[in-house]
Amino acid sequence: MRIKKEFKKSGFFWLPRAPGRKIPGTLKIIDGGDIELEVIGLFDETIEGLNNGWNGVDELERIIGHIEKHGLVTLDGCFYKNKSFSFGGISKSTVYVSKALLGVAYEDKEPVLLSTFQFSVEGIDEWVGLSGIKVENQFEKRTATITYSPPAEVSLSLNNEMKLLITFSWSLPGFPNTTEAKITQKTRFKLLSDQERPLNDFISAAYIITTLLCFAIDQTVCIDGVTVTVDSLVQEIGNGKTSPVLMSLYYSSLPYTKNVPKIHWHHMLFRFMQIRADAERIINNWFDAYKEIDPALNLYFSAKSGAHKYIDGKFLALVQSLETYHRRTSKEKLMEDGIFKELTDNLILKCQEDKREWLAGRLQHGNELNLGKRIKSIIEPFKEIFGSSKARNKLIRNIVNTRNYLTHYDKFLESKAASGESLWLLCIRMEAIFQLHLLQVLGFTEAEIKSIFDNSQELQHKINTI
């Protein structure tokens, strides 16, 4: 989660099961959504509590607080990072916090159920590309007219029984405005559920939607603001009317990168307007992909987000993502299962009795494709893009030799493995291979993928790097 300005608030905090003991502290949230609570003293300073602390069996889980400017706050997933026992003096302890909900105090062990989850993502305005701002210039008369009409909300039904809305908020010029008239519009996603659902359901859905934008924009983008509501938690707004209490949510959301990305629409693989007529199907295809190729996607995005400090770690993540993707999406084997079983049974039967268990273990995965054959199969649908058969075979050999060396560090392969700039360029090309397949996963046709490739200088550059 992108936190542009450090959040640091003082207040009093207590355990919901012991509301009578409130201790002072400071809640701090930094970029990335990392949350830390520094308190004066401990939440339980009874003899039993101190004994539990010494034995490492503290149970915090949930902490309630009242902080400056925001009022009540619920902190979940809490545990001590370090503890200090005062023995009569002043001591400070630090608590790790997984999630912070501002504006509400939940009871002990009360489940956090939500009805709506609204969030923004870096680059969403450029990706959606819908604006209600219109400017008309009449240069001859030296006049200009600026009008604003909010774009219509976009509603999409998800297969997880939620609705996804693309909403627009705006601000108009204030008064007086003698020197400046400014209209701003902000695009957001909003997840809705007819039935109250656990917070983690919404967090999971928001993560999947955010990774879709990462893929489409071809940058690692972060969630930069979350507000939630629950239909059963309302407040009076006058004249006998009520509205849901709007709560701000902070947590360490993924994907995340320390550097704020520079978003350019012409560098994107595709934009919302290109899929608008079929957006519901394409977005649901992305949700379905997480049921089938979740590990491959996680490996791909870890490589894209810079989670690996060294280039060899990035390479291994990418090659493993391709291998895992093929394993999850293809049932291709070296031979039919029946033929393979007959062959292995005969081999084991003819083997020395004391070596049969060893041989059976060696043959257990003998019918699976090796990495080279998997990469060849993955490249096959796009072989024309990757040049001649000789060029494709060279690419496959480079990937296989480098993976084998970086896995086993066999000296025989050291001279054949890519390194330095060659290794980086190999990573870029594998990234492009996976992107082409993910376009297929989303449901783009062969012609649409070809059109995306022809119009994407970034994708062409990745494939033509070697």
Higher per-residue confidence, 137 vs 323: 323
List all residues 6 or more positions away from 265 whose beta carbon is below 8 Å from its beta carbon. 126, 127, 129, 271
Confidence at residue 198, expressed as pLDDT on a 0 to 100 scale: 96
DSSP string, 8-52: EEEEEEEETTEEEEEEEEEEEEETTTEEEEEEES-S--SHHHHHH
435 has a pLDDT exceeding 80: yes
Q: Across residues 306-329, what is the average pLDDT? A: 93
What stretch of H or E contains 251?
strand 247-251
Q: How far apart are CA 364 and CA 344, in angstroms?
A: 9
For residue 274 the two structure tokens come to 């290109």
Residue-level pLDDT at 85 = 66
Predicted pLDDT at 361: 85
Collect all residues with Cβ–Cβ distance below 8 Å to 105 and sequence separation of at least 6: 16, 64, 72, 73, 74
pLDDT of residue 434: 96
The pLDDT score that the predictor gives to residue 233 is 85
**pLDDT band at residue 51 using 50, 70 and 90 as cut-offs:** low
Per-residue pLDDT, 50: 56
Average pLDDT over residues 75-89: 81
Give percent of the chain with pLDDT exceeding 90: 61
C-alpha to C-alpha distance for 423 and 283, rounded to whole angstroms: 33
pLDDT digits (tens, 9 = 90+) for 361-400: 888 878 788 899 999 999 999 988 888 899 999 999 999 9
Q: 232 pLDDT band (50/70/90 cuts)?
A: confident
Domain boundaries, given as residue ranges, for the chain: 7-102, 113-276+283-290, 293-332+369-463
Is residue 319 over pLDDT 90? yes
Return mean pLDDT, the chain: 90
Rounded CA separation 459/6 (Å):
36
- Tell me what pLDDT residue 463 has: 86
Query: How many CB atoms are closer than 10 A to CB 189?
Result: 23
Question: CA–CA separation, 251 vs 259, rounded Å?
Answer: 18
The answer, yes or no, to whether residue 55 has pLDDT greater than 60, is no
Q: How many H helices and E strands in the chain?
A: 15, 17
The whole-number average pLDDT for the span 45-54 is 59
Which pLDDT belongs to residue 139? 83
pTM (two decimals): 0.89
pLDDT reading at 178 higher than 80: no
Q: Is 356 left (phi over 0), alpha (psi -120 to 50) or beta?
A: alpha
pLDDT for res 176: 67
Query: How far is Cα 29 from Cα 36, in angstroms, rounded to an integer?
Result: 6
Residues 392/399, Cβ–Cβ less than 8 Å? no
172 pLDDT above the threshold of 80: no
Beta-carbon contacts of residue 342 (< 8 Å; ≥ 6 apart)? none
d(CA 238, CA 236): 6
pLDDT value at position 136?
87
Task: Give the pair of three-digit tokens for residue 386.
Answer: 């990757």
Mean of pLDDT values over 16-40: 94
Q: Within 13 Å, how many C-alpha atoms sit on residue 403's CB side? A: 21
Q: What is the pLDDT of residue 57?
A: 57
Rg (CA), the chain: 28
Q: How far is CA 199 from the centre of its chain?
A: 16
Beta bridge partners of 184: 171
Q: What is the DSSP string of 146-169?
A: EEE-PPPPEEEE-TTS-EEEEEEE
Residue 54 has pLDDT above 80, yes or no: no
Task: Answer for the pair 300, 321: CB distance below 8 angstroms, yes or no.
Answer: yes
pLDDT tens readout for residues 190-211: 999 999 999 999 999 999 999 9
Which residues have a Cβ under 8 Å from the Cβ of 396 and sit 6 or more positions away?
372, 375, 376, 379
Encoded amino acid at 107, one letter: E
pLDDT at residue 89 in the model: 63
- Please compute the mean of the pLDDT values over residues 254-273 and round it to a whole number: 90
Mean pLDDT of the 74-80 span: 94
Q: Taking 70 as the threshold, does the pLDDT of residue 46 lie above it?
A: no
| pLDDT level of residue 438 (50, 70, 90 thresholds) | very high
Rounded distance, CA 290 to CA 147, Å?
A: 42
Q: How do residues 249-260 score in pLDDT, each as one tens digit?
A: 999 999 998 889
